[in-house]
Structure 1
Amino acid sequence: MDNQADIDGVDAKDLVVTETSGSGYGQISINNNVIAIIAHETAKKVPGVAELQGSLADGIAGMIGKKPKDKGIRIGKESEELLTIDLTVVLEFGVNIPEICVQLQSAVKTAVEGMTGQQVFAVNVVVQGIRCPGEKKIEG
């Protein structure tokens, strides 16, 4: 992935989506944070996804104000037109992991493309853990 940008504001580059109608109105810029929120809200609606899990870097960024909806999501650009979205998730115990991941990839790709008009090259999913029934989220 070239030109990958974290969405924590340190290197948050705007993605430019040009008008497709040729109307000459100008450019529309969509910040990576917006794409991260779309991915987050979509991911948490997929049955079997317990939470998006941030990395150690996300934990450190949380100390300096990184928003919870950015946690576990990384947005990169394959080219000017193509996005790559990396998700780190915790799934519920007992689910079919490959099936849930494919549903997650499809849902996030469809939502981001539908809401932004930006093409998604890939949605990469890393399963960080499994949440057992009755297990509570540990806040750190």
Structure 2
Amino acid sequence: MPKKKSSKKSGGRPSGRPGGVSAPKMKRGMPPHRVAEDQQLAAALERQDTAAVAFALRNDYCIVPLLPGSGPEQIRVFRAEDAEKFMLLLFSSPERYVDMVPQEPSHRFLAYDGPTLRDFLEQNVDNLEAVVFDVAGPHSMQADPREVLAALQLEV
């Protein structure tokens, strides 16, 4: 599952297309007690607890960035200049996403629950080299996409 992100700088943030439009609202029906400040994923990342991150991904929501622009909703993935595969960046709150790309005038995102994230990973795991949580901090972690998928597929 996730590993604590190294404190060494690797040349800055991942590059992505700048721009965007108004962010869509969080999914309707999200329980009111699941606000960003109390989110399970944020708490798990703060503790750097891989088991708690897996639990949060299965049982809570995470923020998934969308490509900027007015086109159809497409998940925004990032690629290092010399990489063949992409990185999926997930966030514990919309604010953590904004921290990563503050220069953008607006930020499009969706709130994914565990089953939705699992479906996305099942379709795209072969194109991903990493899943990075809260890349702009303060408590970043990184995981192998196959390990994240395995955690989401666990039958409890």
Q: TM-score, normalised by structure 1?
A: 0.28
Q: TM-score, normalised by structure 2?
A: 0.26
Work out which structure has the larger RCO, using CA pairs closer than 8 Å and 6 or more positions apart in sequence. Answer: 2
